[in-house]
Amino acid sequence: MNAKSAATDRWYQALAEAQAALTAHALATVVTVAGSAPRGAGSKMLITPDTLHDSLGGGRLEQLVVERAREMLARGQSGCLLEEIALGQHAQQCCGGHVQVLIELYPALAPRLALFGAGHVGQAIVTLLAPLGWQIDWRDSRPEQLTAATTPAGCEGRVERQAFNILTYLPTAKAAPASESLPVMAGSHVLVLTHDHVEDQALIAALAPRDDLASLGLIGSSSKWARFRQRLRGDLAEHQIARVRCPIGVPGIPGKRPEEIAIGVVAELLQIEARRSDEAALNSSDKATGHGTSLDSHGLTRQGARQLRAHFAPDAMHQTETTQKAE
């Protein structure tokens, strides 16, 4: 292991830092030990793609756990994995014991927002979202407006600014540029709230065909959207137009001040992102073990949960097995 992988601070310090920064990490915990092993049950290690914090005892056992955790983090997997390791057979360690290691996976899940517009509402949205860990790609056709816009203290690294004018970007021979070439990363939420309705419409026309966006919202009234929708029907399919949310924001907030509008818009984004995260967790739960095995409410495989119950409460386990046979 290289110098970057050397243990530095305690696992709980590293865990707090990794979760605050929303970086990919895994927490490995020795949950059972049979026979001789480098460290006892309860030992923990925090694993990131580049560093290790604390130790499971070193040697081949630790190397196997680290390799497994990093492999799954690289795939973006989340959830829990219970690894069973026979130290003699699998790790070639002379102590010859048997351990179970629970690996809790936390991929880098910082949501990303592509925000077109650095006006009052745009600035209020950044003020609310940046401290929550969101990565924000901030665009505006007015470089001076973008430069003057403020970012919450300590959040500068999460906000990337770029002057961008969709109207000058448009190819002269086409109604809209190739949507994939726009400065919007796949998986991003997108909000369009520029100072110019012409820019708004051009951006929506270019972005609505993309099916790799987390969401697409346009600021404005129902009447504005009705006009836009009628104009877009000549170039876009109905299912593409249906991707656009307009008006944006949760209902029931009557105020029109920028901060009030931003609160409603951010609340809606948080709801959308929460639903996406829940769906992603459900889709990945069967893959978390690497064998397509479903996990229980605690994130364990059925076999792993039964083994843990047998270790910590053998009498209760015996009663459970008797009940299952009777059923």
CB 284 within 8 A of CB 78: yes
Q: What average pLDDT score do residues 228-245 get?
A: 94
Per-residue pLDDT at 317: 37
Q: Per-residue pLDDT for 11 more than 70? A: yes
CB 165 within 8 A of CB 191: no
pLDDT tens per residue across span 77-135 = 778 989 888 765 554 455 567 888 999 998 877 789 999 999 999 999 999 999 988 98
DSSP assignments along 150-162, one per residue: ---TT-GGGEEEE
Q: What average pLDDT score do residues 64-75 get?
A: 88
Calpha distance 96→51 (Å, rounded): 28
Calpha distance 228→240 (Å, rounded): 13
Dihedral angle, C-alpha 22, 26, 32, 36, nearest 10 °: -140
Residue with tokens 């190739």: 178
Q: Per-residue pLDDT for 239 more than 50? A: yes
Lowest-confidence pick of 33-42, 88-97, 205-214, 222-231: 88-97
pLDDT tens per residue across span 267-321 = 999 999 988 877 766 665 444 444 433 333 344 444 544 454 454 444 433 433 3
- Of 179, 185, 180, 181, residue with least CA distance to 160: 185
Confidence at 187, pLDDT banded by 50, 70, 90? confident
% of the chain beyond a pLDDT of 70: 76
Dihedral angle, C-alpha 151, 152, 158, 162, nearest 10 °: 0
Confidence at 263, pLDDT banded by 50, 70, 90? very high
Residue with tokens 């086409």: 174
Calpha distance 81→29 (Å, rounded): 11
Per-residue pLDDT at 33: 86
Q: Which tokens go with 87?
A: 């130290």
For 76-88, give one letter per residue: b (16+ CB within 10 A) or e: ebbbbbbbebebe
Segment 318-323 long-range contacts (CB within 8 Å, at least 24 positions apart): none
pTM for this predicted structure = 0.60
CB 116 within 8 A of CB 193: yes
